[in-house]
Chain A
Amino acid sequence: MNVIELNHLTKHYGDTIGCEDVTFAVKEGEIFGFIGPNGAGKSTTIRTMLSLIYPTSGSVTIFGKDAITFGHEIRKDIGYLPSEIFYYDKMKVIDLLQYSASFYDRDCSERIQVLSDIMELDLERKIQDLSYGNKKKVGIVQGLLHSPKLLILDEPTSGLDPLMQKKFFQLIEEENRNGATVLFSSHILSEVQQLCNRVAIIKDGHIVSVQDVKSLREDNYKKFSIKGNALIQENFQIDGVTNLVQTNGLITFFYKGDINKMIQILKQLHLQDVLIEEPTLEEIFMHYYE
């Protein structure tokens, strides 16, 4: 079953495009990555799912219901963590969390306690006295306190130190094991690599690709670094080679295709060294961004 279905979702702000013809689906129980550089349309897409903004055309379906018409029902089971956290400054953390809990028809006080213990959050402090990272923790507890079935995380890790980030990821993974579906938006690929099963890549408001994180790395590109005297760049210009760069005695390129063909070429050359490695996701994605 699909928890989220985006159907040709388009949002224009006057002449500027927020996102255009965005179509993808997130299955129940998966951790789905949503990747793109800043300003690519990630937040626009996410804010439409929460009916914070209204689409120009196209539709969003969450839990099988239209996200605009049934927004208030859908949001009972959504936990949302925005990239920038702002709360009513003068409130105490505990008062804000209880106010948030008052919107859901279940007792959340135990969850508040458990979650804030994990995130080491002081409940008695005023929100205006909190550091950026601590506000983020309030956001995390607030997003999880009603045990949502769908977690929407919009660049959630900014401002968290590595230790907290690790705890946060463990928390997300645990929620996921307990059945929660997760949409994880980020521009940091390594964290998506770490958490997600599948990923959608967005650029200039358009979805460029939806792929398995694993297949993205294993089946596609290999990164070759070849050292030798008198290497000729042209030797490597076969189908499937990209980003061919020669600097002195070193040639690097990405190759996608039959690995035997490349080995045949290498066989004929006199080499000093060769390195064939998995490209990082960053390197893979540079193709989409260029």
Chain B
Amino acid sequence: MNILKFEIRKNLKGNLMWGFYIVAFTIFYMMFYPMMGQDQTLFDELMSGFPQEFLDAFGFSAELPIGSILGYYALTYSFVLIVVGIHASILGFGLLSLEERELTADFLFTRPVKRQTIFLAKIGSMLVSVLIVYVITGLGFVLSILLFNGGNPYSLTNVFILQSALIFFQLIMVGLGMSISMLLKKIRNLLSLGIGLALSLYFIESIASMIHSDLLAFITPYSYFTADYILIEGTYDWPKFLLGIVIIAITFSSSYFLYIRRNIAAL
């Protein structure tokens, strides 16, 4: 319990900052919707002038026009997803490698606790971090839809379904970062690794939707929970969702086994 408390306290400020920036970012984007919503048809016409590949890459779809509040929300969501992905991936890379990066491993691992206990405490503190960002992000979106819908009709049901998927996305990113960090000897630059992983997966997702490649789409978690699919269908993209669950299971369990057998090298 003391490790859990220590870790949560250590990360609390950082998580709240991330949450704050994400909400500020969300509100900043959503604020512009009322202006656009007034000239919905004009705006949709403007968008149709762009090449289809461009629209696909950014996740615009005809069924969910950007002029509608949910269309605009979907677009904002896909941008916010990049930021949430960066947070989760940095969190994943940093979680188990913290002691080795800050050279405090000799301290923590010579306490009278099992590695298993340390792992569980770290997973606990990670869940708290993920939940903080998850809840703050969700509140930010619902709030901005309520505030900036410009009087256009919308249904919140699908918004809730989409927001509920976010936590699975976060856990996949954490799991990927965590298991990669356990395969590496030493994590030198946490930020560049975290941002690198999140952005390259996002980039793959852009290409996947541009060339309509299902294969590529299966590689990147950004496409497991795409806003337009869930907002239009009102349900998860089940095959991809299940794949996501499998990835979480594999990355978390492999991280566990690598962590408890890890040799902590001398400094």
Contact = CB atoms under 8 A, between A and B. Distances in A.
Nearest to A104: B112
Given A43-B266, A52-B110, A53-B265, A87 B2 contact: no
A53 B263 contact: yes
Given A52-B105, A102-B2, A84 B112 contact: no
A52 B112 contact: no
B110 A99 contact: no
Nearest to B6: A99
A103 B111 contact: yes
Contact of A84 (B2, B111, B264, B267): B267
Interface residues of B, number: 22
Contacts of B6: 99
A87 B104 CA distance: 5
Contact of A73 (B2, B103, B112, B267): B112
Contacts of B266: 43-44, 47
Interface stretch (A24-32, A74-82, A227-235): A74-82
Interface string B140-156: 00000000000000000
Contacts of B110: 50, 52, 75, 78, 80
B112 A53 contact: no
Interface string B105-133: 11101111110010000000000000000
Interface in A24-79: 43-44, 47, 50-54, 71-76, 78
Interface residues of A, number: 30
A52 B109 contact: yes
B264 A103 contact: no
B107 A47 contact: no
Contacts of A86: 102-104, 106-107, 267
A74 B114 CA distance: 11
Contact of A54 (B2, B112, B113, B263): B263
Contacts of B105: 52
Contacts of A104: 112
A71 B114 contact: yes
A44 B105 CA distance: 15
A75 B103 CA distance: 19
A75 B112 contact: yes
A53 B106 CA distance: 11
A99 B6 CA distance: 8
A89 B109 CA distance: 17
A88 B102 contact: yes
Contacts of B264: 47, 52-53
A49 to B, nearest CB: 10
B112 A100 contact: no
A71 B114 CA distance: 7
Interface in B56-86: none
Contacts of A74: 112
B2 A103 contact: yes
A91 to B, nearest CB: 9
Contact of B109 (A44, A50, A83, A87): A50
B14 to A, nearest CB: 12
B267 A100 contact: no
Nearest to B106: A82
A104 B112 CA distance: 8
Contacts of A44: 266
Given A52-B105, A102-B2, A72 B263 contact: no
Interface string A97-110: 00110111000000
Contacts of A142: 107
B225 to A, nearest CB: 36
B112 A76 contact: yes
Nearest to A99: B6
A44 B265 CA distance: 9
Interface string B246-259: 00000000000000
A76 B267 CA distance: 24
A86 B99 CA distance: 10
Contacts of B117: 72
Interface of B: 2, 6, 10, 102-107, 109-114, 117, 261, 263-267
Interface of A: 13, 43-44, 47, 50-54, 71-76, 78, 80, 82-84, 86-89, 99-100, 102-104, 142
6 contacts: A47-B266, A52-B105, A76-B112, A82-B267, A99-B6, A104-B112
Closest 9 CB pairs of A and B: A86-B103, A53-B263, A76-B112, A75-B112, A103-B111, A52-B264, A102-B2, A82-B106, A72-B114
